[in-house]
Amino acid sequence: MTTATATPDTGTSNPGATDPAANTAAETTVLTTEGTGATPPAAQTQDAVKGDEGKAAGDEQNAGDKGAKGDEPVVPEKYEFTMPDGVELDGKAADEFSAIAKELKLSQADAQRIADVATKMQQKQAETHVATVKGWAEQCKTDKDFGGDNLEENMSVARKAIDTFGSPELKALLNSSGMGNHPEVVRFAFKAGKAISEDTFVRSGSRAPTPENESLEKRLYPTMN
């Protein structure tokens, strides 16, 4: 009896057969591009070109609309600023601000609005400083070392020290800054005045009485305007 021998299939006997591994790779490729929603490279390029074209067309349309509506600010050749009564415009500061405003392409109205805000801030700072100086003067009136009932006489002692050792520039600085009202400055002058020889001390009775409402600066620096 003849026995049939099975011949192993090597995959070369059927040229038309499909390799399972190739099928798996093909399916994987399809899943990668279609199953995940990814766009093939060629389609991506076409979409990018269309997107750029659409964006360019949109930018042109927006630019046309802005020009038609007149939304671009009108930058003046020279800015003119209006200041509140009693406020003097600093020429150098105005020139610097104008240069910045022109660089930012601000309209006259927008530049004026910013200038108004800056002016209000400066006025607030000035008011705060005045209140601070007045507060120093009130502290001097009640100071335990030189204030109280002997304030006028003690101010003469402090004035003697300022007149003896202070230069005109120092007097002007103390007067303009308001620091002449600071209790510690007055205290220093008072102690320096007391250290001066009594032989050269000029008492308060040698000058006309000082009005009670006269500022502390006038009491310390009577020759200053």
Residue 61: the pLDDT is: 45
Q: Are 114 and 81 in contact (CB under 8 A)?
A: no
For the chain, what's the residue count?
A: 225
Residue pLDDT, tens place only, 95-139:
999 999 999 999 999 999 999 999 999 999 999 999 999 999 999
Summarize pLDDT for 178-211 with one digit per residue, the tens: 999 999 999 999 999 999 846 454 544 445 555 5
Q: Is 86 left (phi over 0), alpha (psi -120 to 50) or beta?
A: left
- Rounded to the nearest integer, the mean pLDDT of the chain is 74
Domain map (residue ranges) of the chain: 73-130, 142-220
Contacts of 207 (CB under 8 A, 6+ apart): 156, 222
What is the pLDDT, as a whole number, of residue 128? 97
From 7-11, 51-55, 80-84, 175-179, the region with the lowest mean pLDDT: 7-11
What is the pLDDT, as a whole number, of residue 22? 46
Work out the pLDDT band at 66, boundaries 50, 70, 90. very low
Closest residue by Cα to residue 110 from 65, 79, 67, 84: 79
pLDDT higher for 143 or 212? 143
